[in-house]
Structure 1
Amino acid sequence: MSSQQTSSDSAPAGGTIRIAAIQTVSGPDVGENLATAGRLIGEAAAAGARLVALPEYFPLISGDERDKVRFRETDGEGPIQSFLADAARRHGVWLVGGTLPLVAGVDDKVRNTTLVFDDQGRRVARYDKIHLFGFQRGSERYDEAATIEPGREVVRFASPAGSTGLSVCYDLRFPELFRAFGEVNLIILPSAFTYTTGRAHWEVLLRARAIENLCYVMAPAQGGRHPSGRVTWGHTMIVDPWGEILACQDEGPGVVLADLDPVRLASVRESLPALRHRRL
């Protein structure tokens, strides 16, 4: 597993940074999903957010898993990527594009990819989901490896919040990925957690990642009953470095806002310098 870092910048400039996590309940109509995302990005920008993140699969959740392959885009071109660049530029925000399907090395699969655009609409980072979800309990079954090719690179980049690490959904269960970021101010985790696993583990794992890495965690999620009948857990939230939940939306489309405070971040790290105490 290799590591990619777009900048060594580790501290946000100035005071607090307003960040926004968007929750959706996406369906099979890409155009409709993009319209919803565009409206919510606009709401976040109007509320003062400088960094906005969309959930996993924001452009498409279908009852047919092969739809991801049919709607995949070539890296650098396509309507979903154009939408993200245009929305970032139009609203003047840094935009983390949840995940979208990009062409993979295997013909019948995709990369489940997060793309980041700055406030001028320029792409600044790409992360391909590394850990692929598999789950079976009774009739409930998921196997992402059937349609998705895993990524290999750990990615962090310099955002308005400072050094920021990228992860996606099932990655949350693998703490070694987050340690591989090094010291970051913010972890972003777009997700589409199932209702079953989300109810059991979502909050406790998000708070654990914030506490053990002494950083903010922003987790935009899919939340509700989708047209396909799938139910996602939602509970989009932003957690501070002490593990306190700053904001949360249980279900339905919406915008979750909080302020990332570099003074709070420094204070927690000074009082509990666990990052400096690491030996392994």
Structure 2
Amino acid sequence: MVDVAAIQLVSMPDVDANFAQVKALMEQSKPGQLVVLPECFAFFGGSDKAQLELAQQPDNRILERLQDIAKSYQCWLVTGTLPVLSDSRQRFRAASFCLDSNGDVRGRYDKIHLFDVSVDDSTGSYLESRYTEPGDTVTVVESPFGRIGMAVCYDIRFPGLFQAMEQIDVLVLPSAFTAKTGQAHWHALLQARSIELQCYVVGANQGGVHANGRETFGHSSIYSPWGEKISSLEQGVGFISGTINTQKLSRIRRAMPVGEHKKFRSYFEQSS
């Protein structure tokens, strides 16, 4: 058995302050654990253009600082998302990295589905694609926790992405779900993905009111492959954890072999 964890933040438009909170919460981690940070963990609550300006700073060192954290705490770390400049340098990619306990990059996923929607909240409308370039590659990482499927926030609404991953053991989902959409759909979507994929789901969310007035839902949660909620944190800053039971995972898949019954080809089969 191995442990997974999620960190929940109410991130500010202040990189150093957000890193200080992450380090304080990492004191609760265990060596060998898989820890997931929320979307936009390092800078949130400012303008979308400010994210682009952060990506354009050649010395922001966000990834390097995260690699140091992974090494210091001897944890695998899913970095939430970082703004990484696209080739055009006029937009960035919302990139999530999976780091091992040596700080080495084991996988990178660039958010594919961008949040261009209207929401009945204080923000009203969201146009993520204005400054963000979508990714185009499905990412699965081989690890001591099994096969890790990587996704970000709005991606959770698109089950085709997860079916394309073939069989995964853990789905990691850094997020900044709005309070309105989170109340309606967050738990239902996490549970649905855990059941249909027969895997553990670790959803790390932002959880509070941010400097620009944006409200995020929180409720960072870990779900089992049977759709059970193992751990959850409603609002505010905190750390939750749970255990991956590989015997339970195997037992569920033997009793209900959904993967064998699936009639559709995977992304990896089509690409080979």
Shorter-chain TM-score bucket reads over 0.9
Computed over aligned residues only, the root mean square deviation of the Cα atoms, in angstroms, reads 1.5
| Unmatched segments (≥5 aa) in structure 1 | 1-15
Alpha-carbon offset, residue 117 of structure 1: 1.1
Aligned length: 262
**Structure 2 residue 246 is the aligned partner of structure 1 residue 246:** no
Q: Which residues of structure 2 form unaligned runs of 5+?
A: 265-272
* 1:20 and 1:49 in contact (8 A); partners too: no
Residue in 2 that maps onto 1:270: 254
TM-score (ref. length: structure 1): 0.90
- Would the aligned equivalents of 1:74 and 1:102 in 2 still touch at CA under 8 Å? no
Q: Secondary structure at the match of 1:52?
A: strand
Query: By how many angstroms is 1:78 displaced?
Result: 4.1
Call closer, same or farther: CA 1:209–1:109 in 2, change over 3 Å: same
DSSP 3-state at the match of 2:140: strand
1:68 is aligned with what amino acid? Q
Match of 1:28 among 13, 16, 34: 13
Aligned residue number for residue 109 of structure 2: 127
Q: Using the aligned pairs only, state the percent identity.
A: 39
SS of aligned partner of 1:102: strand
Shift of 1:124: 1.2
Q: How does 1:102-251 map to 2 (within 5 A)?
A: 102-137=84-119, 140-251=124-235
Shift of 1:160: 2.0
- The alignment partner of 1:154 has SS state of coil
Q: Distance in 1 between matches of 2:211 and 2:135?
A: 29
Which residue number corresponds to residue 72 of structure 1? 55
Asked whether the equivalents of residues 119 and 180 of structure 2 are also in contact (C-alpha less than 8 Å), the reply is no
Q: Is the 8 A contact 2:45 2:213 kept in 1?
A: no
- Cα deviations by residue, 1:110-166 (Å, 9 ceiling, x for unpaired): 100001111011111111000001221456111100110000000000122111100
TM-superposed deviation, 1:43:
1.7
User: Partners in 1 of 2:263 and 2:102 — Cα distance?
Assistant: 41
Q: Please give the alpha-carbon distance, in whole angstroms, between the structure 1 residues aligned to 2:5 and 2:143.
A: 13
1:88 corresponds to which of 70, 85, 101: 70
- Normalising by structure 2, report the TM-score: 0.93
